[in-house]
Amino acid sequence: MRQDWIPLNCGENGLGRSYNIASCMPEAVAFQGVSDHSGLYKFSVNESDRFWGAVARQRLSWISPFHTVQNCDFSQGKIKWFEGGKLNVSVNCLDRHVQTCPERVALIWERDEPGTEVKITYRQLLELTCRLGNLLKRQGVRRGDCVTIYMPPCPLAVASMLACARIGAAHNVVFAGFSSEALADRIRDAQSSTVITVNQGVRGGKVVDLKRTVDQAVQNCPSVQQVLVAMRTENTVAMTDRDVPLEEEMMKEDVVCEPVAMDSEDVLFLLYTSGSTGKPKGLVHTQAGYLLYTSLTHRYVFNYHDGDVFGCVADIGWITGHSYIVYGPLCNGGTTVLFESTPVYPNPGRYWEMVERLGINQFYGAPTAIRLLLKYGDEWVQNYNRSSLKTLGSVGEPINTEAWEWYHRVVGDGRCPVVDTWWQTETGGICIAPRPSDPEAEIVPGMAMRPFYGIKPALLDTEVVTGDGVLALCYNQYCPLNCATPLLGFFFTGDGAHRSKEGYYQIVGRLDDVINVSGHRLGTAELEDVVVCTIIIMFGVYVFVVLKKAVMVEEDVLAQQLREMVSRSIAKYACPDFIQVVRCLPKTRSGKIMRRVLRKVVERNTDELGDLSTLDDPDSVHEVISGHRRLC
Ligand code: 6R9
């Protein structure tokens, strides 16, 4: 059966410095005639059945083997991977590691107060998951149901996700910062009979009444039969007949829960996009392809090795949390951090103090936080020992050169590769990133660089090899992800991108933010690289400026400086026509700038700001609206 690949019996460290296939994908597979990274990449897109078939057999535990690697017809919107295969995601993330290393730490729960972290081993996490799975069954949850989880990052949230996977239910995790209306919308959409929450959340030293938000939400959700309430704080909260004390009831359950054999394409979870570009939309990811892809990218994009501590500081309520806090790391038997706090609590050294205390090896964060922290200066970083760090990752928005360089030079002491990873909730896993590749290969600051195995990007409005265009991925034929937005056989990403003559990709911003100025295509990322602030473009270039904390400058001087910088670095035609200094910008709860709101403000269409349910700070919009606009 396995004639198409030969396992490589070589350790990852004994390979010397020579670059060969083993350093691209050491323990996985070797394909005949493939001897380097670019060969392996070509193989993954040209012989995708053989590539993914072999990787899926190698990396996942199957209850029954699949008979067909892929059965996709884009024109019909049909995308099926690993048909015939049955597996259980929680078995892949837990049981098989409990067999080999039960006492390995699976989760480090980095609680809000520094120094109060809690470690959970694989054995403990499996027990929690089984008890919860049994409790959910007792509450009437069945295969195919969808459970809504409204919890901050904590072990019981991860156990809840895995418990759903174990019993064949889908989960619908809602970021625990959303309002009761946003939560109610998502519960109704999922038709959940069960919601899992905590009495209160704790973040940045503040206590948040999450249970109360759930109470308000479920008033308008007739499908909800019960709310399971875990105790994050010691404060009691009002309980109704519908509410079930989670810890108390789960302790009555058995620590064994039979995993359900799921089909490869059964639903694993539902998740909403962050709403930066429009009304949040709900997406579905399925079992096998999603798990395989997150595990492979986690291993190779970040160069994750057994025993490493992986620190992704996203919230579990976003796709980044699903894929790179929960499924990717746990499928790989990794140790993963659940970060409950904020980058500035109790001070702007929090991330790096945590890196030192927990010995984090791979740190994965967002440009919005990096930009915030660099404003506080280098000392907050240098106060802590960061020698454990090996790889630094970035996700969510384009990372401007200044932030990239600071991350690389100050945080990573110039010795850790920075992987700028481009992907979307729709794709479920990282699609473009500098790794995997030759460890010596160059990384250009601010560039996402290369497509991952199986990903075949295309720039839709350009025929030339290099150039600019709308990023589209034709990967459904090549890799096991299932984003069904067929357009001429492509998955249309909505992002603008530039491809260099070396074939490297740079994401230049959302398509709606790329405009023609005097006949030149200009992306927001390119401009923001120069002015380190946000720009939105309408009848010209409109610049929103957020000043670094210490900077005091006259607006005339600022306007002059900005124009000079842009002329010098890009061109005269790109010079700002308007500037507006603001304290902060409207952002989504996940930290993305809501450019569509800024655009409406600039167009003076403030009555049509659109869906603001995912907006973080409503004051930021008022400030932008009332702030004065200044002609340069
Ligand atoms: C994972 C995630 C997706 C959108 C995406 C793009 C932007 C994400 C990026 C990036 C430039 C990167 N984006 N990573 N832009 N460089 N490295 O963020 O998913 O919340 O669905 O957002 O975010 O515009 O289309 P999601």
**Who has greater pLDDT, 510 or 611?**
611
Q: What pTM, to 2 d.p., does this model score?
A: 0.86
**Who has greater pLDDT, 352 or 459?**
352
- Report the separation in Å between the CA atom of 314 and the middle of ligand 1, taken as the mean of its atom positions: 13
Would you call 158 exposed, middle or buried from its count of C-beta atoms within 10 A (0-12, 13-18, 19+)? buried
Would you call 464 exposed, middle or buried from its count of C-beta atoms within 10 A (0-12, 13-18, 19+)? exposed
Q: Name the closest-CA residue to atom 23, ligand 1.
A: 396
**Who has greater pLDDT, 240 or 529?**
240
- Report the separation in Å between the CA atom of 271 and the middle of ligand 1, taken as the mean of its atom positions: 15
User: At 629, is the pLDDT very low, low, confident or very high (cuts 50, 70, 90)?
Assistant: low
Q: Ligand 1 within 6 A of 319 CB?
A: yes
CA–CA separation, 229 and 156 (whole Å):
11
- Report the separation in Å between the CA atom of 396 and the middle of ligand 1, taken as the mean of its atom positions: 4
Which atom number of ligand 1 is nearest to the Cα of residue 433?
17
pLDDT digits (tens, 9 = 90+) for 69-113: 999 876 677 889 999 999 999 999 999 999 999 999 999 999 999
Q: Ligand 1 within 6 A of 395 CB?
A: yes
- Report the separation in Å between the CA atom of 321 and the middle of ligand 1, taken as the mean of its atom positions: 14
pLDDT at 619: 84
Q: Name the closest-CA residue to atom 18, ligand 1.
A: 396
Q: Name the closest-CA residue to atom 19, ligand 1.
A: 424
| Residues ≥6 apart with Cβ < 8 Å to 486 | 74, 75, 77, 476
Segment 237-245 shows an average pLDDT of 96
Q: Are 587 and 593 in contact (CB under 8 A)?
A: yes
| Residues ≥6 apart with Cβ < 8 Å to 483 | 79, 283, 426, 427, 428, 476, 491
pLDDT at 549: 62
CA–CA separation, 127 and 107 (whole Å):
13
pLDDT at 4: 28
* Structure tokens, 253: 């359950």
Residue 213 C-alpha from the chain's centroid: 25
Segment 146-165 shows an average pLDDT of 98
pLDDT digits (tens, 9 = 90+) for 405-435: 999 999 999 999 999 999 999 999 999 999 8
pLDDT at 530: 60
- Report the separation in Å between the CA atom of 493 and the middle of ligand 1, taken as the mean of its atom positions: 10
pLDDT at 350: 98
Any bridge partners for residue 196, and if so which?
A: 149, 228
Q: Name the closest-CA residue to atom 5, ligand 1.
A: 424
pLDDT at 508: 79
pLDDT for residue 283 is more than 70:
yes
Q: Lowest-pLDDT range, 4-18, 331-345, 540-554? A: 4-18
- Report the separation in Å between the CA atom of 593 and the middle of ligand 1, taken as the mean of its atom positions: 11
Q: Name the closest-CA residue to atom 24, ligand 1.
A: 510
**CA dist list (Å): 353 to 179, 349, 357, 383:** 31, 6, 6, 8
Which atom number of ligand 1 is nearest to the Cα of residue 274?
20
Which atom number of ligand 1 is nearest to the Cα of residue 448?
17
Q: Are 210 and 197 in contact (CB under 8 A)?
A: yes
Q: Ligand 1 within 6 A of 398 CB?
A: yes
Which spans in 241-391 are helix H?
Answer: 246-250, 288-301, 319-321, 328-331, 350-358, 367-374, 379-382
Closest by CA to 148, choosing from 76, 251, 224, is 224
Pocket test for ligand 1, best of 312, 424, 493 (most atoms within 8 A of CB): 424
Q: Name the closest-CA residue to atom 8, ligand 1.
A: 396
pLDDT for residue 464 is more than 50:
no
pLDDT for residue 133 is more than 90:
yes
Q: Name the closest-CA residue to atom 22, ligand 1.
A: 424
* Mean pLDDT over each residue of the chain, to the nearest integer: 85
Q: What are phi and psi of 115, to 5 degrees?
A: 85, 5
Q: Ligand 1 within 6 A of 391 CB?
A: no
Q: Name the closest-CA residue to atom 1, ligand 1.
A: 424
CA–CA separation, 410 and 199 (whole Å):
39
pLDDT at 515: 59
- Report the separation in Å between the CA atom of 628 and the middle of ligand 1, taken as the mean of its atom positions: 30
pLDDT for residue 305 is more than 80:
yes
Which atom number of ligand 1 is nearest to the Cα of residue 399?
16
H/E/C letters for each residue in 349-387?
Answer: CHHHHHHHHHCCCEEEECHHHHHHHHCCCCHHHHCCCCC
Q: Lowest-pLDDT range, 67-81, 161-175, 188-202? A: 67-81
Segment 211-233 shows an average pLDDT of 97
- Report the separation in Å between the CA atom of 198 and the middle of ligand 1, taken as the mean of its atom positions: 29
**Who has greater pLDDT, 134 or 446?**
134
Segment 143-164 shows an average pLDDT of 98
Q: Ligand 1 within 6 A of 396 CB?
A: yes
Q: Ligand 1 within 6 A of 448 CB?
A: yes
Pocket test for ligand 1, best of 320, 325, 423 (most atoms within 8 A of CB): 423
**Who has greater pLDDT, 113 or 490?**
113
CA-based torsion, 358, 359, 363, 368: positive or negative:
positive
DSSP string, 27-92: TT---TT--SHHHHHHHHHHSHHHHHHHHHHHHS--SB--SEEEEEEGGGTEEEEEET-EE-HHII
Q: Ligand 1 within 6 A of 422 CB?
A: yes
**Who has greater pLDDT, 28 or 589?**
589
Q: Name the closest-CA residue to atom 20, ligand 1.
A: 274
Distance in Å from the first CA to the final CA of the chain: 69
pLDDT at 537: 47
Q: Lowest-pLDDT range, 10-24, 235-249, 304-318, 466-480? A: 10-24
pLDDT digits (tens, 9 = 90+) for 575-602: 777 888 888 888 888 778 887 888 788 8
In the chain, the percentage of residues whose pLDDT exceeds 70 is: 82
ipTM of the complex: 0.99
pLDDT for residue 36 is more than 70:
yes
- Report the separation in Å between the CA atom of 196 and the middle of ligand 1, taken as the mean of its atom positions: 28
- Report the separation in Å between the CA atom of 324 and the middle of ligand 1, taken as the mean of its atom positions: 14
User: At 22, is the pLDDT very low, low, confident or very high (cuts 50, 70, 90)?
Assistant: low
Segment 475-481 shows an average pLDDT of 49
**Who has greater pLDDT, 19 or 339?**
339
Closest by CA to 456, choosing from 73, 53, 74, 46, is 46
Q: Ligand 1 within 6 A of 427 CB?
A: no
